[in-house]
Amino acid sequence: MRRESLELQDGDVTAVDWVSDTDHLPKTTPLLVILHGLESSAESAYARMLINEATKVGWRSCVLNFRDCGDYRNRLPRRYHAGETGDLRYFLQRLAEHGQEGPLFAAGYSLGGNVLLKYLGEAGAESPLHGSVAVCVPLELGKCSDALNTGFSKIYQHYLLKSMKESVRRKFNQHTAAFNWDLAMTATTFAEFDDAVTAPLHGFDGMNDYYGKCSSSRFLSQIAKPTLIINAIDDPFMTPDVIPDSSKLSQHVTLELSEAGGHVGFIEGGTPWRPKFYLPPRIIEFLSNYSASTSFMDNRTRP
């Protein structure tokens, strides 16, 4: 991977990791922009697997890291959140202005999928993306936060909360934090953490305001470019009632719902030591439908 610093419009900075093996390909080559999940980065296994799949079909690809993620620190006293679409919008515009001539695609996982869907709804027909895929999306942030308080899901919540607190401690201390430090460090649920840290740090009036404004379910009817959503009913990050019915989907959105798949798992065969994963080839298959055309067709016909 080749790292590029991305200077943002508000004076902050983040990182874009490019696949250096495809640097020689022309700007007419399809380009896939990957958005990672909560507390993740370009180092995640799912991002690397999709990069490999895109490289196999001759596409260029990159991972747009969210602010203060991975091993890259941002400048401003803020981080990232599930509704921050400005950085993605700016990066896509920058690509178009710097000579990207081939089809432009995006794939987002989990929190990154929520960012992608919200952006697509906001941008409508003005988005330069030819096609997008969002995987394991927490479509209703509040309900998904509640889902992590039950059963086996508590393990995920505990692990991620520990990582989130470590990230906050790396960037702030009790004297520099623009939020209640004690509440942040004693939070035991996502909702408590988002209320103590995410909301005040990014200008929201508490977690309910944050969840209400940033849940991607509110934007699905406004999407105007071919988009595939892949979710699993057994995903520990959500409950079945967050899955929207067809009346809430734009005619450009296809919802692919699996009985099993977990959270960004979707193993469809192989062995425990050499599993076969469903997502990378499925994502490329869907996007390939739009790799040779700039027309945007209704893709609801896929069962």
Q: What value, to the nearest 5°, has the Cα angle with vertex 217 and ends 280 and 164?
A: 70
CA 190 to chain centre: 18
Could you give the CA distance from residue 65 to residue 208 in angstroms, rounded to a whole number? 26
Active site annotation includes 263: yes
Active site annotation includes 158: no
> Distance between terminal CA atoms of the chain?
36
- 215, 235, 250, 252: the active-site residue: 235
- Burial track 33-65 (b if 16+ CB lie within 10 A, e otherwise): bbbbbbbbbbebebbeebbebbbeeebbbbbbb
Active site annotation includes 235: yes
- 110, 127, 145, 217: the active-site residue: 110
- 36, 81, 252, 263: the active-site residue: 263
Alpha helices by DSSP H, listed for 202-272, are: 207-214
Return the structure tokens found at 35: 């958005």
Q: What is the largest CA-CA distance in the chain?
A: 56
Residue 197 has what DSSP assignment? I
Could you give the CA distance from residue 270 to residue 262 in angstroms, rounded to a whole number? 17
8 A C-beta contact, residue 60 and residue 25: yes
Catalytic positions, please?
110, 235, 263
